[in-house]
């Protein structure tokens, strides 16, 4: 079983990464939504130094930008207060141009993986005004999703192509394609990998929208591994339906003999706590029982306070599940 952490400020030094490998971590994810492989050179140097010390050949997955939508840069974090109003586009919160036609009255807008919720009340030239239904602090470059909107940005961005050009030299072993909408998205990534001389790199298809769930059967033989990405998937369906969706995807992967990964909030409380909740270790345990070939933590190690302890609990819980299965 592969057990991944995520690179970030919480584990940016070689000593911390070495301790994570010593606990049993087999690979890491680098999120390229906010950065590039070249800009991440110091982090990757620390990674490879730590792995060498432990005698590990680490798996390195890069999470592409792909068709995921994000707001632009903010001058400073913005506090969105429940019941207040906010402007999207124009002089307000910068949003991708491709979403502007969908900002019609009544449209829900999810920000930062669904933590914040807006409802459009008025269309404006080049933007919209929205009511803040569920507020909080909004940071730059956070995700934006418009459930039900027909928005189709390209599967591979120019930034993705530049990162793929550098992938082989950086030791990348896998590419995670977000928001897969159909087989053609994966074919576009395969073509980009071939053009970059990375035909050997494994392709991970992230299932995190309704289209991906609906078209899963046509994706199973087009990807090397399926990723049950529960963050945005939990925005695409009512949250109480998410466990059943996860179970159905897992069952489809087992039936097709296709490896799958489970990711998002597996040990989320450990961003700020050295010990996980009982529900979290049960979640990890049950993901292994469902047949997952890989598990991944994200913010827990990228920005969390206890990255080494996170990997310890992830590895030991997964091992206990494997023992239980015999």
Q: β-strands 59-63, 27-31: how paired? A: parallel
Q: Choosing from 6, 26, 70, 107, which is the catalytic residue? A: 70
> How far is Cα 242 from Cα 217, in angstroms, rounded to an integer?
19
Q: Choosing from 206, 215, 230, 312, which is the catalytic residue? A: 206
Q: Choosing from 26, 129, 181, 264, which is the catalytic residue? A: 264
Q: Are 11 and 19 in contact (CB under 8 A)?
A: no
Residue 70 appears among annotated catalytic residues: yes
- Least Cα distance to 23 among 322, 306, 321, 289 occurs for 306
Q: At what angle do helices 14-23 and 41-54 cross, to 10 degrees?
A: 40
> How far is Cα 304 from Cα 68, in angstroms, rounded to an integer?
24
Residue 16 appears among annotated catalytic residues: no
What's the alpha-carbon Rg for the chain, to the nearest Å?
Answer: 20
Q: Choosing from 29, 230, 258, 312, which is the catalytic residue? A: 29
Catalytic residue IDs: 29, 70, 206, 264
């Amino acid at each position: 079983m592969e057990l991944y952490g995520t690179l970030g400020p919480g584990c940016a030094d070689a000593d911390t990464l070495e301790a994570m490998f010593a606990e049993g971590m087999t690979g890491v994810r680098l999120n390229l939504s906010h950065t590039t492989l070249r800009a991440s050179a110091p982090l990757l140097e620390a990674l490879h130094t730590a792995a060498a010390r432990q005698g590990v050949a680490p798996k390195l997955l890069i999470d592409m930008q792909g068709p995921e939508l994000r707001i632009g840069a903010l001058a400073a974090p913005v506090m969105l207060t429940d019941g207040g109003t906010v402007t999207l586009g124009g002089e307000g919160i910068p949003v991708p141009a491709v979403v502007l036609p969908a900002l019609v009255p009544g449209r829900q807008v999810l920000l930062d993986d669904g933590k914040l919720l807006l409802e459009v009340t008025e269309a404006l030239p080049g933007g919209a005004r929205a009511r803040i239904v569920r507020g909080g602090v909004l940071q730059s470059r956070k995700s934006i999703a418009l459930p039900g909107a027909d928005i189709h940005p390209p599967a591979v961005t120019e930034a993705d192509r530049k990162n793929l050009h550098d992938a082989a030299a950086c030791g990348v072993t896998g590419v995670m394609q977000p928001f897969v909408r159909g087989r053609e998205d994966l074919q576009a990534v395969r073509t980009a990998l071939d053009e970059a001389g990375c035909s050997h790199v494994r392709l991970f298809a992230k299932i995190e929208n309704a289209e991906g769930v609906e078209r899963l059967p046509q994706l199973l033989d087009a990807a090397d591994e399926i990723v049950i990405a529960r963050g945005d998937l939990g925005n695409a369906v009512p949250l109480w339906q998410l466990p059943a969706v996860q179970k159905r995807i897992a069952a489809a992967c087992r039936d097709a003999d296709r490896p799958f990964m489970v990711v998002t909030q597996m040990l989320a409380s450990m961003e700020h706590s050295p010990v996980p909740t009982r529900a979290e270790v049960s979640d990890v345990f049950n993901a292994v029982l469902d047949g997952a070939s890989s598990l991944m933590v994200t913010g827990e190690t990228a920005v969390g306070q206890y990255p080494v302890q996170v990997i310890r609990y992830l590895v030991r819980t997964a091992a206990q599940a494997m023992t239980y299965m015999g």
